[in-house]
A and B are shown apart, each in its own frame.
Chain A
């Protein structure tokens, strides 16, 4: 009737005091469900990157009392747009969210597993992991993907969270081998990240409020889309806009499509007047 349920008993692993890590538990009872179990090492020499599309640009920035995560909607496969309205942002618990850039198929699974991992720990232990703990956990999971990364399936996540102890938003970036770096103020990953970071650098202020911070993120994504063909800009005709998640002391919140549409339309209209966007003041 239920798998793993033989002779009227769950397998012993379900009842043992054991681990509070979902990944470790899954490895014990159902290893085939873990990401990247089936790909093996075959054909490592030839590139396998065409098997899954690439998710592109993500930006994150902090503002007093919170942190913001925004992503464009495009996924590409070589020169083809594989998906126009992809959601790359994942609410992982009340006070954290993760976004993925790189191989979409692997990244989505990684984010999903990470989400369950945090919740599983919280339920078993009765308290959630610290933000540091969450960021280290993600580093281990990215490192676990190293074999896949060597075959071309690189996944680069970006983690944002609200630290309840210091009451500040924080941003963590990763490299393909699981190196974890805490970023201050803002960061961006993905194919258009170079342009996005340059854009935020000129627009960022320490006293941004939430709405202005969203505007900065949208400007940055616009700049990324402007110069990187793999990043999608706001699509006013199809009504596809970037996604924005905000985390404050009240928890995680996705900004409504209407609100993002309004701000994105302002950005696009601004560019009609001034195609290169807002100018930073000198001196």
Chain B
């Protein structure tokens, strides 16, 4: 009977972390940021059906990068958890913090107990009644949880993307400007400069003024026109919310227009 080699726990953890980081770095990044009407989520995603961004509950969205089957499992878990809780108590009793916590615990357990850590990094965002009540949590592969302010990038080169995003981010920017900042940051991932088209982007918003469920995907012609508007650096045009919503009108999106 062969004895396994002794590996120091520190080394074991380090190896697992390196493995997970490498796996995550293979994929593209995603960003989540506040804009004047709520929270914007953008991912670089070629597929139209295998989503990186989804709805968890009325006010809560989910964005993930890394291995699809692994974060899809987490997404299912979150939806089920939220629906059971909302059914058992009330819809208001489901919060982003709870979901972020169960994700952190789950990822932490997987990281320390199983041989292979999950190569995922996720964001749970909850839109509040006011911008000050918005919550954005980033949860990493080892179960660490960070309460982010304003914006967050996840993915292999998230530091690079966040630096790019920081320069252009403004919490009260109109949607087109916020989208422009996000795509700019994603396009400069890994120091390269790429052209991101509507077809490569997965975009969704948690719209504060919307009734019932606040999550809405943006695609097709509406996305294309938003991108164009953002690139022109148009200011003040807040007529971007297609249906409902009173989209507060006169934003001065100068910050994004350097």
Contact = CB atoms under 8 A, between A and B. Distances in A.
Interface of A: 1-2, 5, 7-10, 13-15, 17-18, 22, 25-26, 29-30, 33, 91, 112-113, 116, 119-120, 123-124, 126, 250
A9 B106 contact: yes
Contact of A5 (B56, B79, B102): B102
A9 B109 contact: yes
Interface string B99-131: 001100110110000000000000000000000
Given A8-B105, A8-B108, A8-B109, A113 B87 contact: yes
B199 interface: no
B88 A15 contact: no
14 contacts: A2-B101, A2-B102, A8-B106, A10-B102, A13-B80, A14-B81, A15-B73, A18-B76, A29-B84, A113-B87, A116-B83, A123-B54, A123-B56, A126-B51
Interface string B78-94: 01110110111000000
Interface residues of B, number: 27
Given A15-B77, A120-B79, A126 B49 contact: yes
Contacts of A126: 49, 51, 54
B105 A5 contact: yes
B77 to A, nearest CB: 4
Contact of A33 (B51, B54, B87, B106): B87
Contacts of A33: 84, 87-88
Contact of A30 (B56, B74, B84, B105): B84
Given A2-B98, A8-B109, A10-B102, A30 B88 contact: yes
A8 B114 CA distance: 13
Nearest to B73: A15
B202 interface: no
Contacts of B195: none
Contacts of B88: 30, 33
B55 A14 contact: no
B243 interface: yes
The 3 A-B pairs at the shortest CB distance, nearest first, are namely A8-B109, A14-B77, A15-B73
Contacts of B54: 123, 126
A30 B87 CA distance: 11
Nearest to B107: A8
Contact of B76 (A7, A15, A30): A15
Contacts of B55: 123
Nearest to B80: A14
A14 B98 CA distance: 15
A14 B83 contact: no
Given A15-B74, A25-B84, A116-B86, 10 more contacts: A1-B101, A2-B98, A13-B80, A14-B80, A18-B76, A22-B87, A116-B83, A116-B87, A126-B51, A126-B54
B24 to A, nearest CB: 20
A150 B101 CA distance: 44
Contacts of A22: 83, 87
A13 B51 CA distance: 22
Which residue of A5, A10, A18, A120 has the most chain B CB atoms within 10 A of its CB atom? A10
Nearest to B85: A2
A10 B87 CA distance: 18
Contacts of B49: 126
Nearest to A2: B102
A38 to B, nearest CB: 15
A184 to B, nearest CB: 30
B230 to A, nearest CB: 26
